[in-house]
């Protein structure tokens, strides 16, 4: 099948690459020429496991190519649109998607299925359909919704091993084509066909539900600290009930990234636009915001006795294994620490994670080349992500480098037994023993 993917970001590029690996002829399109130049040279700034290998393999197999022009769009059986839908004061901002629609409308040639993979509110596919009809009344097409459920850093895995595929389609002709396109998955997972608006809602509701689960366990985590319980045992005990499920019950510094913060706000504002207060979603957003303030307050309490306190902050992106610092709780907490006149020296094992943090924080903090340099003369070490490397730190060595032996582990990632053996006081969120 001939597939064109418009928007080659964290989601679009893995989709282009994997669908070419499945045997389709795929053209990836992005208006950013620099990105296209890099991709044509087998390069990308997106760090996803297996992405690069599949990129090289499929370009060489002539199933995958890249362009910044829309001219070949007319050849596509399926056009997948995966551009960003940021949140703005007025709600979900559809300007990027609308621009793409304006750009492609007149290139459509022959019957085309237009897949909206960008996260969009219920009713958007219908609006896009009307817009294309207006722009090109002769065009033969259907607009469908296939939301994506990929985790950043795990995108290739999540495409090949999906939990489910949700397809919002209301035309039999489009459904037949999509059944063929998704046939490699039919024995692997449930392919659920529904209406377009329900599919659009599945995405917002799923992300908001997961965000709510995280805020809930963070609240329980605070309660555990006050009441002598261990949140990890509590989460495990809860998760044994299959109605609850064990996943997304890890307490932490709050959810971040480009998805949960944006989609919870998007859903709440959609609720308001139809006259409904989504109190659970709104509380989730509020709880996640105050989470970062609570933790910054705790950090400043731990170092309250020191004159010019210095904090070593390890782990900067919004989660381990990625370099994306958008809406990263670590960055938000660091900003609050700086406001409290606390010096921060930061480190992340992914060099581009440091680069991305620098784009936000500039020279307001210092950066270290490794964890040991970061902790030099620190009064407190904070762990902001669940990076595997942090499990294997040499606590005897760190003991010789710090000014004060205090740790605040926001992800329960370190070997606290070893740290305690070396004289450290360990505060681990959701537990009360130090
Ligand atoms: C999320 C969803 O998991 C994907 O299904 C969805 O497709 C994607 O958003 C999207 O809408 O594009 P992602 O943002 O990559 O994926 O990150 P997650 O791994 O879900 O983590 C989100 C945030 O929640 C991170 O800050 C993470 O540290 C935090 N988290 C996650 C917790 O604090 N506790 C948990 O138990 C799980």
Nearest Cα residue to atom 16 of ligand 1: 151
Cα–Cα dist 29/2, whole Å: 13
Report pLDDT for 200: 98
pLDDT at 91: 86
Residue showing tokens 């037994």: 417
Pocket test for ligand 1, best of 14, 247, 259, 348 (most atoms within 8 A of CB): 259
Alpha carbon distance 89, 59 (integer Å) = 41
Q: What is d(CA 378, CA 387) in angstroms, rounded to the nearest whole number?
A: 20
Which tokens is 73 given?
Answer: 């769009």
| Residues 345, 401: Cα–Cα separation, whole Å | 14
pLDDT of residue 433: 80
Q: Can you give the pLDDT at residue 141?
A: 98
* Closest ligand 1 atom to Cα of 214: 34
Q: CA 61 to CA 72: how far, in whole Å? A: 19
Q: Quick one: 30 exposed, middle or buried, by C-beta within 10 A (0-12, 13-18, 19+)?
A: buried
Report the C-alpha gap between 371 and 352 in whole angstroms.
16
**What per-residue confidence (pLDDT) applies to 286?**
98
In the prediction, which pLDDT does 47 show? 87
Q: Where are the alpha helices (DSSP H) in 312-401?
A: 329-339, 351-361, 371-374, 395-401
pLDDT averaged over 10-residue windows placed end to end, the chain, 434 residues = 97 98 98 96 93 97 96 95 90 93 95 97 96 96 97 96 97 98 96 98 98 98 96 98 97 97 96 96 98 98 95 98 96 98 97 96 97 98 97 98 98 97 97 86
Q: What is the pLDDT of residues 402-419, one digit of tens each?
A: 999 999 999 999 999 999
Number of neighbours of residue 420 by Cβ within 10 angstroms? 16
- Encode 283-295: b = buried (16+ Cβ within 10 Å), e = exposed: ebbebbeebbebb
Q: Distance between CA 56 and CA 41 in Å, rounded?
A: 9
- Most informative mutation of 156, 319, 330, 429 for ligand 1 (most atoms within 8 A of CB): 319
Two tokens, residue 166: 């949700």
């Amino acid at each position: 099948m001939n597939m064109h993917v418009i928007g080659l970001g964290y989601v679009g590029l893995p989709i282009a690459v994997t669908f070419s690996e499945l045997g389709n002829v795929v053209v990836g399109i992005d208006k950013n020429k620099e990105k296209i130049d890099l991709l044509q040279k087998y390069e990308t700034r997106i760090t996803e496991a297996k992405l690069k290998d599949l990129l090289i393999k499929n370009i060489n197999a002539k199933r995958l190519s890249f362009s910044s022009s829309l001219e070949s769009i007319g050849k596509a059986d399926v056009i997948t649109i995966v551009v960003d839908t940021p949140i703005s004061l007025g709600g979900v901002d559809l300007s990027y998607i609308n621009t793409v629609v304006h750009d492609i409308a007149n290139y459509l040639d022959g019957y085309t299925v237009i897949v909206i993979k960008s996260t969009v509110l219920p009713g958007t596919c219908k609006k896009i359909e009307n817009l294309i009809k207006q722009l090109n009344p002769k065009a033969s097409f259907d607009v469908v919704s296939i939301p994506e459920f990929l985790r950043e850093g795990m995108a290739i895995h999540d495409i090949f091993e999906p939990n489910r595929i949700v397809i919002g389609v209301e035309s039999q002709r489009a459904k037949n084509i999509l059944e063929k396109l998704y046939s490699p998955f039919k024995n692997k997972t449930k392919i659920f066909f529904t209406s377009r608006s329900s599919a659009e809602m599945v995405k917002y509701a799923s992300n908001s539900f997961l965000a709510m689960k995280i805020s809930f366990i963070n609240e329980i985590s605070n309660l555990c600290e006050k009441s002598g319980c261990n949140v990890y045992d509590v989460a495990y005990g809860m998760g044994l009930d299959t109605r609850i499920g064990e996943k997304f019950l890890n307490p932490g510094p709050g959810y971040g990234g480009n998805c949960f913060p944006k989609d919870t706000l998007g859903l709440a504002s959609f609720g308001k636009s139809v006259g409904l207060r989504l109190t659970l979603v709104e509380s989730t957003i509020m709880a996640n915001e105050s989470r970062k303030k609570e933790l910054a307050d705790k950090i400043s309490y731990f170092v309250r006795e020191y004159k010019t306190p210095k904090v070593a902050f390890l782990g900067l992106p919004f989660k381990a294994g990625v370099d994306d610092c958008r809406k990263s709780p670590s960055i938000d907490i660091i900003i609050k620490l700086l406001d409290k006149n606390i010096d921060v020296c930061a480190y992340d094992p992914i060099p581009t994670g440091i680069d991305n943090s620098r784009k936000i924080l500039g020279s307001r903090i210092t950066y270290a080349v490794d964890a040991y340099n970061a902790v030099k003369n620190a009064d407190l070490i904070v762990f902001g992500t669940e990076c595997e490397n942090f499990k294997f730190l040499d606590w005897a060595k760190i003991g010789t480098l710090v000014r004060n032996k205090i740790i605040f582990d926001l992800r329960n990632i370190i070997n606290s037994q070893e740290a305690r053996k070396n004289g450290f006081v360990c505060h681990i969120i959701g537990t009360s023993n130090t």
